[in-house]
Amino acid sequence: MEAIMKELAKQAKARPVLLQKAKEEGKKVIEYTGNFIPEEYIRAAGAEPFLMCRGGDPEAPDAVLEYMLRFMNPLARSMAGYWLMGMDVVTPITDLIVMQQTDNHVGRISELLEFKGLPVFKVGVPPDWDKQLAVDYYKDQLKKFVAKMEEVTGNKIDEDEVRKNFAKTNAINERLRKISELRKKNNPPIGFSEFIKLNHYSFAVDNDVMIGKLDELYDELKDAPGKFMEDCPRILLVGHAVAIGDYVVPKILEDAGAAIVADFLDEGIRTYNDDVALEGNLIDNFVDAKYVNKVPIDIFQPAWEQRFEYIKKLIEENRIDGVVWYQLAFDEIYDMECSCVAKWLKEMDMPMLKLESSYEYSRESMGPLTTRLESFVEALKGGKKNA
């Protein structure tokens, strides 16, 4: 696994260089945020997509404080922060930043980028997803997005090309699902630290290469021994996002002897359980798969009861011993959902740890953070022994 992960990491890191080269060859570079923007259309338009979901550094969120309220989540702030700091090599060469408008954190940060003169295109994603009005609105937004792609690239998008791209992402999803299934083993051969990185790499590495590497990895892992201590606590990680680069918390948990065997995150991860049907109208299919039929993201309304049903399903299917709620600081809606989840989990006697991250991983912060995580894992171990 290590060699494959290293290879993928190398290719993912080299992505900006490839983008620069593509740009020199006359291709357009399109950055985008979130799972509600179908990158398949960007590729089909002949442009190069790049997911904007970097985080885990405290400096980037701080860089926007001159312009924005400090009580905004650090992931949204990082979207502008890295660029403001001059630590973003892609945004300066990007031809367009397509930003899904799901909440006000990212909404206002989009406006900051516009204020600073960057080319931003917004795609509205209505939170009232159970209304037909909203579904039609989102479809209309996606049609505008497609038109924008054609305008920026000067290329007419070929529906078959889009279909091919969806087929590839479905193939990646299928392989991620297979690998994720391996986490259900008593002692999983892969941890969340690797699994989330696989997701992140899959956004940056060539699709065909990724499919091949995921096959290789699955073959290697399917009969591999577990990588954790026998009978270690099994954790479900729930939250907004584990951003590209924000790997501290999962690592501490796994180092403390727990296995994160399931995850439920709204961003920074592929929606690998939800394939897009390839027959018929692809925008309709995408909306059905990612908006109408998918478990709603936290900001959608109504969402929380349905999300908790899904959490319960994950707990049952993955024999979960404890839940870690991984919240980004000042993410007010997740904070509210957490109160519901905490209450409902308590009623199930399921231990939960709430963590908030402001991407502050200084030496001073790491001590208490590590102690909290280790204590939680130890408590889960104790619970397992007693059981």
Query: Which of residues 284 and 332 has its CB atom nearest to another protein in the complex?
Result: 332
**Contact between residue 353 and residue 323 where contact means Cβ atoms under 8 Å apart:** yes
134-156 burial string, b = 16+ CB within 10 Å, else e? bbeebbebbeebbebbbebbeee
Residue 290 in the binding site for another protein (CB under 8 A) = no
279-309 burial string, b = 16+ CB within 10 Å, else e? eeebbebbbbbbbeebbbbbbbeebbeebbe
Residue 133 in the binding site for another protein (CB under 8 A) = yes
Q: What is d(CA 298, CA 125) in angstroms, rounded to the nearest whole number?
A: 13
Residue 238 in the binding site for another protein (CB under 8 A) = no
Residue 291 in the binding site for another protein (CB under 8 A) = no
- Per the structure block, which two tokens stand in for 165? 């791209």
The piece of 24-32, 52-60, 109-117, 262-270 that touches another protein (CB under 8 A) is: 109-117
CB of 67 to another protein, least distance (A): 4
Residue 112 in the binding site for another protein (CB under 8 A) = yes
CB of 358 to another protein, least distance (A): 10
Q: At what angle do helices 192-204 and 248-255 cross, to 10 degrees?
A: 150
CA dihedral sign, ordered 293, 297, 299, 303:
positive
Residue 84 in the binding site for another protein (CB under 8 A) = no
Residue 105 in the binding site for another protein (CB under 8 A) = yes
Q: Which of 19, 11, 147, 34 is nearest to 100 (CA)?
A: 34
Here's the x/- map for another protein, 50-69, by CB under 8 A: it reads as: ----------------xxxx
Among 186, 273, 281, 339, the residue binding another protein under the rule CB under 8 A is 339
Dihedral angle computed from the Cα positions of residues 66, 70, 76 and 77, in that order, rounded to the nearest 10 degrees: 30
Residue 137 in the binding site for another protein (CB under 8 A) = yes
Residues 352-371 that bind another protein (CB under 8 A): 356
The piece of 11-19, 209-217, 275-283, 325-333 that touches another protein (CB under 8 A) is: 325-333
Distances (CA, A) of 63 to 80, 83, 135, 248, 281: 8, 9, 36, 21, 42
Residues 256-285 that bind another protein (CB under 8 A): none
3-state SS class at 123 = strand
Query: Which of residues 210 and 303 has its CB atom nearest to another protein in the complex?
Result: 303
The piece of 95-103, 191-199, 274-282, 314-322 that touches another protein (CB under 8 A) is: 95-103
Query: Which of residues 13 and 116 has its CB atom nearest to another protein in the complex?
Result: 116
List residues bridging with 357 in a β-sheet. 328
The kind and range of the H/E element at 325 are strand 322-328
208-241 burial string, b = 16+ CB within 10 Å, else e? eebbebbeebbeebeeeebbbeeebbbbbbbbbb
Residue 142 in the binding site for another protein (CB under 8 A) = no
In 96-142, where do the E strands start and end? Answer: 96-101, 120-124
Among 2, 230, 305, 364, the residue binding another protein under the rule CB under 8 A is 305
CB of 42 to another protein, least distance (A): 18
**Contact between residue 81 and residue 66 where contact means Cβ atoms under 8 Å apart:** no
Among 53, 125, 248, 256, the residue binding another protein under the rule CB under 8 A is 125
The piece of 119-127, 154-162, 247-255, 271-279 that touches another protein (CB under 8 A) is: 119-127
CB of 205 to another protein, least distance (A): 30
CB of 317 to another protein, least distance (A): 23
Query: Which of residues 129 and 203 has its CB atom nearest to another protein in the complex?
Result: 129
Residue 332 in the binding site for another protein (CB under 8 A) = yes
Residues 6+ apart with CB under 8 A from 271: 35, 173, 289, 290, 294
Residue 348 in the binding site for another protein (CB under 8 A) = no
3-state SS class at 94 = coil
CA atoms within 13 A on the CB side of 149: 29
Residue 83 in the binding site for another protein (CB under 8 A) = no
Query: Which of residues 118 and 379 has its CB atom nearest to another protein in the complex?
Result: 118
Q: Which residues bind another protein (CB under 8 A)?
A: 66-69, 71-72, 101-105, 107-108, 111-112, 114-115, 120, 122-128, 131, 133-134, 137, 141, 299, 301-305, 329-333, 335-336, 339-340, 343, 356
